[in-house]
């Protein structure tokens, strides 16, 4: 079977009777710069359509120095928060004329390095990164390579780069203070065991609120190792609950931990919020399935998603500024519903 020859700009030039350079100007959007008449632009584009011309995107990207793609590295796409964030980034990038290519690090620095290398090999114009523990060298390498990027959700204190984050201390501090004001004294926090700053700050906010109230601020802290396996979470959480059967309220430090905690509670006949009061992170459908809708810490994810794309596009257009942006959380309190 004979393969059909791919149409080139030379074919278009021959059909119209003009130079290859003139066709190249039009097909690359430089007709105004090169002062090509509107009539000629129309003839060239019509000829391209009639010949079913398909531009070579790789060659075009090399010429223009841009692939019009953004790389997005999330921590865990299975986490509803990161899934929603990826959706917002994709929508906002599309509006700006970019396509998003993304992958998950699964909170693993080895996989993070692999995904980043893959994105860089695809010549993405810039990166939005939710860094994993141990990935600081990867971030420093991007700075050396002068690759535009913005960190989201987490950052490294000893690396000066662009990031957009939540005020994580305030998030758990405010939530813990609310539980204290309701009369709770034995308040637990479920967090991931990690050196990443966002989780450290959430633990610090919880502890500071308890300390100010003169309450125990270490006994009811559960630091759980990250795992995709619910069974791993279940084993750790069961041990925590069994050791602290007197717990009165529970605060979860992110969306994934919130959902896993609620699932464990439903499977083990723990009444939430009647038996154990509860505040989660980011909300979502599981929070609405209870007779009393559950309270949660809300991150302004839509605003943050729009802002991270805006900041990255500015960097890709040669902005040299370094921005450290922190957003306030909102404690969404839901005490009951009318049915």
| Residue 325, beta-bridge partner list | 164
Q: Are residues 138 and 99 in the same domain?
A: yes
> Are residues 174 and 293 located together in one domain of the fold?
yes
Pair (220, 247) in one structural domain: yes
CATH number at residue 43: 1.10.260.40
Measured between alpha carbons, how far is 105 from 112 in angstroms, rounded to an integer? 4
Q: Are residues 136 and 242 in the same domain?
A: no
Of the candidates 103, 254, 270, the one whose C-alpha atom is nearest the C-alpha of residue 166 is 254
Give me the tens of pLDDT residue by residue for the chain, a chain 339 residues long. Answer: 444 577 888 888 898 999 888 888 887 777 888 888 989 989 988 988 888 887 665 555 555 567 889 999 999 888 889 999 999 999 999 999 999 999 999 999 999 999 999 999 888 999 999 999 999 999 999 999 999 999 999 999 999 999 999 999 999 999 999 999 999 999 999 999 999 999 999 999 999 999 999 998 778 999 998 877 788 888 999 999 999 989 999 999 998 899 899 889 888 888 888 889 999 998 766 666 666 678 899 999 999 999 999 999 999 988 778 999 999 999 999 875 443
Which pair of tokens denotes residue 302? 């839509």
Residues 183, 286 share a domain: yes
- pLDDT score at 2: 46
Same domain (yes/no): 90, 239: no
- Residue 170: the pLDDT is 98
Q: Is residue 60 part of a domain?
A: no
Domain that holds residue 19: 9-55
Q: What local confidence, expressed as pLDDT, does residue 79 receive?
A: 85
Query: Does residue 2 form part of some domain?
Result: no
- Taking Cα atoms as reference points, which of 192, 188, 211 lies closest to residue 201? 192
Q: Hey, what are 5's tokens?
A: 């020859």
| Domain shared by 184 and 36, yes or no | no
In this predicted structure, what is the pLDDT of residue 117?
A: 94
State the Cα–Cα distance between residues 61 and 271, nearest whole angstrom. Answer: 57
Per-residue confidence (pLDDT) for residue 63, from 0 to 100: 55
What 3-state class would DSSP assign to 205?
Answer: helix
Instruction: Report whether 72 contacts 124 (CB < 8 A).
Output: no
Task: Find, among 317, 332, 228, 222, the residue nearest to 279 by Cα.
Answer: 332
147 and 183 assigned to the same domain: no
Is position 4 within any domain? no
Q: The whole model's pTM is what?
A: 0.80
- Does residue 267 share a domain with residue 185? yes
Q: Is residue 189 part of a domain?
A: yes
In the chain, the DSSP E strands lie at 69-74, 99-104, 126-129, 149-152, 163-166, 187-192, 221-224, 249-252, 277-281, 295-298, 324-327, 330-332
Give me the half-sphere count of Cα atoms (radius 13 Å) on the Cβ side of residue 287: 23
Report the b/e string of 9-18 with b at 16+ CB within 10 A.
Answer: bebbbebbeb
Q: Number of folded domains in the chain?
A: 3
Domain check: are 313 and 266 in the same one?
no
Structure tokens at 212: 């100010």
From the list 152, 167, 186, 164, the residue with the least C-alpha distance to 331 is 167
pLDDT of the residue at 11: 87
pLDDT value of position 319 = 72
Q: Give me the pLDDT at residue 194, please.
A: 92
Could you tell me which of 80, 134, 144, 70 has the C-alpha nearest to residue 105?
Answer: 134
d(CA 148, CA 320): 10
| 183 & 250 share domain | yes
**CA dist., res. 164 & res. 83, Å (int):** 17
Whether residue 339 is contained in a domain is answered as: no
DSSP code per residue over 226-273: --S-HHHHHHHHHHHHHHTTT--EEEESSHHHHHHHHHHHHHTT--TT
Helix, strand, or coil (residue 25): helix
**Same domain for 196 and 278?**
yes
DSSP letter at 9 equals H
E strand segments, 75-182: 99-104, 126-129, 149-152, 163-166
């Amino acid at each position: 079977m004979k393969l059909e020859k791919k149409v080139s700009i030379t074919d278009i030039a021959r059909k119209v009777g003009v130079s290859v350079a003139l066709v190249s100007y039009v097909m690359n959007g430089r007709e105004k710069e090169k002062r090509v008449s509107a009539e000629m632009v129309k003839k060239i584009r019509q000829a391209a359509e009639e010949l079913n011309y398909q531009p070579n995107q790789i060659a075009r990207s090399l010429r223009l120095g841009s692939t019009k793609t953004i790389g997005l590295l999330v921590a865990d796409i299975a986490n509803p928060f990161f899934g929603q964030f990826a959706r917002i980034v994709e929508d906002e990038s599309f509006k700006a004329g970019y396509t998003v290519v993304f992958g998950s690090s699964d909170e693993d620095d080895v996989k993070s390095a692999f995904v980043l290398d893959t994105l860089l090999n695809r010549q993405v114009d810039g990166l939005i990164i939710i860094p994993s523990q141990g990935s600081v060298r990867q971030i420093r390498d991007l700075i050396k390579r002068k690759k535009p990027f913005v960190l989201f959700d987490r950052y490294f204190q000893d690396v000066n780069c662009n990031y957009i984050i939540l005020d994580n201390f305030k998030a758990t501090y405010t939530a813990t203070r609310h539980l204290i004001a309701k009369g709770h004294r034995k308040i637990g926090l479920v967090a991931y065991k990690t050196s990443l700053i966002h989780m450290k700050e959430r633990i610090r906010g919880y502890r500071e609120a308890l300390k100010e109230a003169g309450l125990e601020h270490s006994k009811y802290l559960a630091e759980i190792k990250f795992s995709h396996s619910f069974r791993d979470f279940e084993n750790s959480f069961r041990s925590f609950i069994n050791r602290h059967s007197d717990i009165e309220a529970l605060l979860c430090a992110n969306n994934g931990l919130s959902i896993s905690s609620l699932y464990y509670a439903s499977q083990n006949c723990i009444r939430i919020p009647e038996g154990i009061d509860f505040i989660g992170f980011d909300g979502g459908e599981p929070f609405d399935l209870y007779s009393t809708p559950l309270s949660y810490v809300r991150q302004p994810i839509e605003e943050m998603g729009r802002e991270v794309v805006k900041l990255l596009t500015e960097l890709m257009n040669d902005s040299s500024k370094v921005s450290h942006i922190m957003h306030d959380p909102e404690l969404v309190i839901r005490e009951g519903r009318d049915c």
